[in-house]
A = this chain, B = another copy of it.
Amino acid sequence: MFSKACEYGIKAAIYIAANSNEGKRVSLKGIAKHIDSPEAFTAKILQILARENIVTSVRGINGGFEIESHKLETIFLSDIVKAIDGDNIYKGCGIGLKDCNELHPCPIHDDFKKVRNSLRKLLETTHLKQLALNVHSGTSFLRV
């Protein structure tokens, strides 16, 4: 469904959000450990999220990553997915036609569009705060 990079990106963002919600900044090392991802590769992904103004990075001692608390409810999963994988997954044709076109539909268009739209809705309406709270309370998990 999502690329590995995107999976790591989503998990990292949720982990950072869960900590930022408590005023804690987290390091790359801590992130990689808690989401069980390769450190250097995760760094690349966090660079993307930083460039897209989804996370804020701070260099130097006591540096790390954080998300400004007022953003926690305005960053949606779709923002992260779009930054890393693009929006083809919830906008493109299921079997690879150049574009998904009502007037020139592929054979699975009608049914696929419904699924794709429900994915789109999920991504576009789920923000980081809800996910972070569940992780913090121990209701959901980021690894294993």
A-to-B contact residues, CB < 8 Å: 1-2, 4, 7, 10-11, 14, 77, 89, 92, 94-98, 104-109, 111-112, 114-116, 118-119, 122, 126, 131-132, 134-135, 139-144
Query: In the complex, which residues of chain B have a beta carbon less than 8 angstroms from the beta carbon of A1?
Result: 1, 89, 92, 94, 116
Q: How many copies does the complex hold?
A: 2
Supply 25 A–B pairs (Cβ within 8 Å), ascending by A: A1-B92, A1-B116, A2-B95, A2-B96, A4-B96, A7-B96, A10-B95, A10-B108, A11-B95, A97-B141, A97-B144, A105-B140, A105-B141, A106-B141, A106-B142, A107-B131, A107-B135, A107-B141, A107-B142, A108-B122, A108-B131, A112-B122, A115-B118, A115-B119, A118-B118
State A1–B96 Cα separation when bound (angstroms). 10
Knowing A118-B115, A119-B115, A122-B112, say if A107 contacts B14 (CB, 8 Å). Answer: yes
Query: In the complex, which residues of chain B have a beta carbon less than 8 angstroms from the beta carbon of A139?
Result: 105
